[in-house]
Structure 1
């Protein structure tokens, strides 16, 4: 809530209090059975306005000064003493208004003359509710501030964690790709310039598009296609990958770089040089439901202790970006590794 809005709420509250005391004055018949509007405007209105202003002044002395200065610092005794002191300060003002000023304009609340002790009791009783409201409002505002700070901290932590997770690009794939392009260049292969161009497109996508919360699904798929094509080039046509996309991709969006870890994992730990057992990558979109199925034969000759980092990374990103909106099944049966991902876009 903005500061300006809070100010308006405070003004609105005291306007309501002022209207309420005016209605009470009318209802109790202080002007007789027939309302004399001249007397009302000349006497009742200024009297009730001054009384409301005094109540507001007492409220804000307590709310803005005494509570923060003593109570919120843990000194209850000093707060009580200061509150009694505030009552004693406001008592002469109340006494003067009721005993001298208001009678001058034709208003007298009491038939008998006031005593100072009685005036002090009236100040306490008339402001008892205001004391409670000041305490309540002060601690409610503290709770609200703490909640806002917590929300801001959680959002910042969320952004920081996402940025960190997105920055964890698997160096294994990049290094291998660079080595493959270097080998193509040494052999003076005609595919070397194209491979270098595709790598630059990948890096451009990772540096620019990944800053957005969502990217067009078509761009993410094009990114995956470049990754797969680079894999094929680096293996000189000996990389067997079946990549298929079905459904309407247009106008759909997805978190950037949320799918690449699954494909990198298949390349890193799977068998891709056997034509009869290729890596299967299937993407499908239907009614805002995105599905990804990755199947690969496990390469038992490769041992990599960091194999689980990429999958743990993407699991955490999915939990942060798509809470309650995704399903991820990772299954290993015999020599086949399967990843089945579903996301509600």
Structure 2
């Protein structure tokens, strides 16, 4: 269920509920028409609050206390809005309200709070139905994406293995000729080996991911030699931690591709900090306004999608760009992997 379709489903559910309570009020002869409409209006306010605010945000096991408070607020919205319409607006417009003069607020609340249970229940049924439909569609989408990813992985297995073995052979040829060339080939070989060592659940040792980033940075250093300035810092104990493979490299690749690399006073800053299970990657670079690297990359759109699939509700990605400095802060709560 897309956000664009949500108002349509909401109006459909509310329309059905409106017909129900309006017909029920007329059939049961529950007072004059104005008081039927005051009940509809109060129900509309409460239904909307529950459908868009209360259930989407607080119908979770870890937010039960907030849900209870929200239900009390929803009930108060119904009672309060109905009291405002019947005992203030109707008195001003019609000359009389729904209750006799002298009716206390406590009596009004006790006589109306239970009426609010009906829109609370109906809005819950409507939201739960739509949420189930949404999750079913997401599950089907994940299955399709998983199948596509598996097919793509199988298609790409031959070439990486061939390239990895070829690089090792080229290293043996280059070593007697040029240490620099041999060093570059062995680092490229390490990058290729990491890409081939993906585990069954897509998780690898965090230290291997860090090593991959270091090899990637050092390869760039070989390419640009003295015109390459990076401030790369690590903080924390990465041993024994797991992370989704190649989840960090797109942000560094993006900084190298679109940033200024040759200013010693404005180096590309790459800081990785691990505190308990919380990993924070901070990447900032001066924005290059000239010719951009035409090479392809994974892309931020794809990496955002990967983060949503692998770390739903367990990550935060903040990106800022003031035209001079581009900064990315990625925070991930690492999963506990059971062997």
Q: TM-score, normalised by structure 2?
A: 0.48
Larger Rg, first or second structure (1 or 2): 1
